[in-house]
Structure 1
Amino acid sequence: MIKKQPSTDDLLAVIIKGIDDVKGQNIQLLDLREIDNTVCDYFVICSGNSNTQVDAISGSIQKAVGKELKDKPWHVEGQGNSEWVLMDYVNVVVHIFQKHVREIYDIESLWGDAKITQINPA
């Protein structure tokens, strides 16, 4: 039996819900589909206030996606120090930063050609 991949829209919705469930902040969606040679279709970027919150956000996303979509990240990096955790769901890559680290790397500027949407969960 072939495992059906969740739709990208469903995946984005569940990731954003997972971030919001543990009060992740400043959620931005970068649409990379119109840019040549990108590694994925979307980046989801958010901030946490501490290592503990960054860990909680990453855990919440994995739990929500696992439960609702029966999917898991292809790869996760950065859980050791939890300043910047990257979660690779193939079409969607999630970046969870502590605020000060997010300011240093400023990914939004690096991908200035992307369509950026500020997400304000209810």
Structure 2
Amino acid sequence: MAATEHSLNIIRTAALAAADKLADNLVALDVSERLGITDAFLMASAESERQVNAIVDGIEEALIEEHDVRPVRREGRGLGRWVLLDYVDIVIHVQHQEDRVFYALDRLWSDCPAIELPTAAQSVASSGNEAATPE
């Protein structure tokens, strides 16, 4: 069973919010086939603890505003190294770049299908934190 449309909409909104805060390396995966407790993961990286927390704040604000959803669990906010936001249908991991490399969640879940993210999120994620230029 693939991720629901509701989950995909939340992932896309969260990805755009993360991109707006200049998150690096945005990756979304449909983990519904392998993990029965959630539909999808969104992973993002940041260069500093302050930026990790800014990305988390941006995601939470966007999801409340656009979908009226709040995380049921939030872990790691105090340290700002790896913040996990659990929305039941989706789980968001915002990690300091060093932790992202060390824990390698992308590799752990690499056999799960990727979820296509909105173009703005892809542009920011792939451009190394540079703003996307209009074409």
TM-score, normalised via structure 1 length: 0.87
Query: Residues 6-17 of structure 1: matches in 2 within 5 Å?
Result: 7-17=6-16
How far the C-alpha of 1:108 sits from its partner, in A, is: 1.4
For the Cα contact (< 8 Å) 1:26–1:118, is it kept in 2?
A: no
Gap change, CA 1:118 and 1:27, over 3 Å in 2: farther
Query: Residues 66-77 of structure 1: matches in 2 within 5 Å?
Result: 66-77=64-75
Are 1:84 and 2:82 an aligned pair? yes
How far the C-alpha of 1:7 sits from its partner, in A, is: 1.7
Residue 101 of structure 2 aligns to a residue whose secondary structure is helix
In the aligned structure 1, how far is the partner of 2:116 from the partner of 2:107?
14
Are 1:30 and 2:33 an aligned pair? no
Q: Which residue of 2 aligns with 1:105?
A: 103
Residue 110 of structure 2 aligns to a residue whose secondary structure is coil
Letter in 2 for 1:84: W
Where does structure 1 lack aligned partners over 5 or more consecutive residues? 1-5
How far the C-alpha of 1:9 sits from its partner, in A, is: 2.3
Letter in 2 for 1:58: V
How far the C-alpha of 1:118 sits from its partner, in A, is: 6.8
Q: Which runs of 4+ in 1 moved over 3 A?
A: none
How far the C-alpha of 1:99 sits from its partner, in A, is: 0.4
In the aligned structure 2, how far is the partner of 1:91 from the partner of 1:108?
19
Q: Which residue of 2 aligns with 1:3?
A: none
How far the C-alpha of 1:115 sits from its partner, in A, is: 1.4
In the aligned structure 2, how far is the partner of 1:26 from the partner of 1:80?
22
How far the C-alpha of 1:117 sits from its partner, in A, is: 4.6
Gap change, CA 1:38 and 1:106, over 3 Å in 2: farther
Give aligned pairs, total.
116
Where does structure 2 lack aligned partners over 5 or more consecutive residues? 124-131
TM-score, normalised via structure 2 length: 0.79
